[in-house]
Amino acid sequence: MKSNWRNSLILVTMLAVLSALVTSCNKGDHAEHADTYTCPMHPTVISDKPGTCPVCGMALVKKARAGEEVEITEDLSKLLKSPNETVVASIKTIKGEYKSMRVTTEAQGIVTYDTRNIYTIPTRIGGRLEKVFLKYAFQQIRKGQKVAEIYSPELLTAQREFVFLLENDPSNESLIQSAKERLSLLGASESQINDLIKTKDPKNTFAIYSPYDGYIISETQQTPVAPMTAQSGSASSGGMSDGMGGTSSTPASSSQSSTGNATDPIIREGSYVTSGQTLFKVVNPSALRVELNIATTLAGKVKKGDKVMLDFGDQHGESGSIDFIQPFFNEGQEFQTVRVYTKNTELLHIGHLVKAILDNNSVEALWVPKEAVLDLGVEHVVFVKEKNVLKPKKVITGTRTDNQIEIRQGLSSSDEIAANAQYLVDSESFIKTNK
């Protein structure tokens, strides 16, 4: 009887322990499979039910359970790469084409005066200007017009010596001729000398006349220069391009934009001058030329004798040819200057803006559509297809046309590239090429 009671007690104890173990396991399994929620911005905030973060107010998100991690496959890893490494898009791809295209270069220029027709009105004697009849820059002047009157002790002495010889030694022709030539060297004209012979009255002031027609410019006035513009070539298989636009202005350098104007001072009455000093500079507006700025990337394709179509606006245009290519660059200049001489100057004025198209030879190169090249400012990028993935690649471009771009380096004709690079990115900052 005692033995049965002991066995019963042991059995009850074992059942109780077994029940406790089962309950503990059930609780552990429930805790293991229970959902927990956390804040994306504050990982220390944990909750067993949905809600909002007490710190920032964001909605709590459910944490992944053990074993629920997504397996990263090879295909998925390509999709998860940063967009600055690869850009995946299902768009049309093309290949560059080696072909020969006739290139025409677009340029902007300006009408300026021919520096071979800039004249000076100097004074051959030193003295003081008693009167000056030219008051401002750009004032028109005619040949034979009186421009100033000068008082010169040297010229006054030469007149008195000439009159003395005429009155006291008229038979000494050689000495009289020498005195006459001296007056001529000092700036006296033939009519002034003849008047002195008749009146025998030396003048205290002597008139200075202009030997040229034109307009007065100040000493600081510089030759007008063409505006600094970004230029591009245009190409066609037949002839010249119809349009002449497509240029965007950029500011000129300070050394080229500091030209004189009508308010610049010219020499005034009462000024003292020395022998040989220039009084005025005269420009002949009937001798004009056109100066064009050619981008440095296109300078090698332009040569002397190339045909040029000039457009002066208002349906006024003419054809010409390049007469001179400037062999050097000025300080701060990013363009090469070429000169074209024009004959029809009646409708033109100095400073008139000109658009031009230069007809060059055919260029054989690798050409792609301009939409396939992405301009990042300091570099150009195309998207090359590699195993169904489009990757950015840096290229070096050359001549541009209305719808084609020359690829000089970085791409071969066998490479497949995106037909439109603009569709691949939302922002240029996403593009990162491999060095």
Q: What is the pLDDT of residues 213-240, one digit of tens each?
A: 888 887 766 666 666 544 444 554 433 3
- What is the Cβ-side half-sphere exposure of residue 346, based on CA atoms within 13 angstroms? 2
pLDDT higher for 27 or 341? 341
Give the closest residue to 104 by CA, choosing from 340, 356, 406.
356
Structure tokens at 392: 């950015």
How many of the other CB atoms lie within 10 Å of CB of 357? 22
pLDDT higher for 199 or 224? 199
What is the Cα–Cα distance from 381 to 331, expressed in whole angstroms?
31
pLDDT score of 246: 40
pLDDT tier, 125 (very low <50, low <70, confident <90, very high otherwise): confident
In DSSP terms, 339 is beta-bridged to 291, 324
- Residue reference for tokens 């031009």: 356
pLDDT tier, 374 (very low <50, low <70, confident <90, very high otherwise): confident
- The whole-number average pLDDT for the span 31-41 is 75
Are the CB atoms for 292 and 354 separated by under 8 Å? yes
CA distances 308 to 109, 196, 339, Å, are: 12, 57, 10
Sequence-distant (6+) residues with CB within 8 A of 199 are: none
Give the closest residue to 208 by CA, choosing from 261, 136, 267.
267
pTM over 0.85: no
Give the closest residue to 377 by CA, choosing from 394, 354, 399.
394
pLDDT tier, 328 (very low <50, low <70, confident <90, very high otherwise): confident
CA distances 258 to 225, 329, 331, Å, are: 10, 17, 13
Are the CB atoms for 322 and 342 separated by under 8 Å? no
Sequence-distant (6+) residues with CB within 8 A of 358 are: 104, 105, 106, 107, 292, 294, 302, 306, 307, 308, 322
Q: Residue 4 carries which side chain, given as an amino acid letter?
A: N
In the chain, what is the straight-line distance between the N-terminal and C-terminal CA atoms, in Å?
94
pLDDT score of 385: 86
Burial class (CB within 10 angstroms; exposed 0-12, middle 13-18, buried 19+) of 108? buried
CA distances 346 to 138, 349, 351, Å, are: 18, 8, 14
What is the Cα–Cα distance from 373 to 333, expressed in whole angstroms?
27
Query: 77: helix, coil or strand?
Result: helix
Q: What is the pLDDT of residues 167-197, one digit of tens each?
A: 888 888 889 889 888 888 888 888 888 888 8
pLDDT at residue 310 greater than cutoff 50: yes
- The whole-number average pLDDT for the span 350-359 is 79
Give the closest residue to 376 by CA, choosing from 432, 428, 421, 434.
428
DSSP letter string, 272-320: EE-TT-EEEEEE-TTSEEEEEEEEGGGGGG--TT-EEEEEEETTEEEEE
Structure tokens at 361: 């030879």
pLDDT higher for 356 or 248? 356
What is the Cα–Cα distance from 193 to 122, expressed in whole angstroms?
19
How many of the other CB atoms lie within 10 Å of CB of 181? 11
Residue 304: φ, ψ to 5°: -60, 135
Number of H helices, E strands in the chain: 6, 26
- What is the Cβ-side half-sphere exposure of residue 131, based on CA atoms within 13 angstroms? 11
What is the Cα–Cα distance from 20 to 25, expressed in whole angstroms?
9
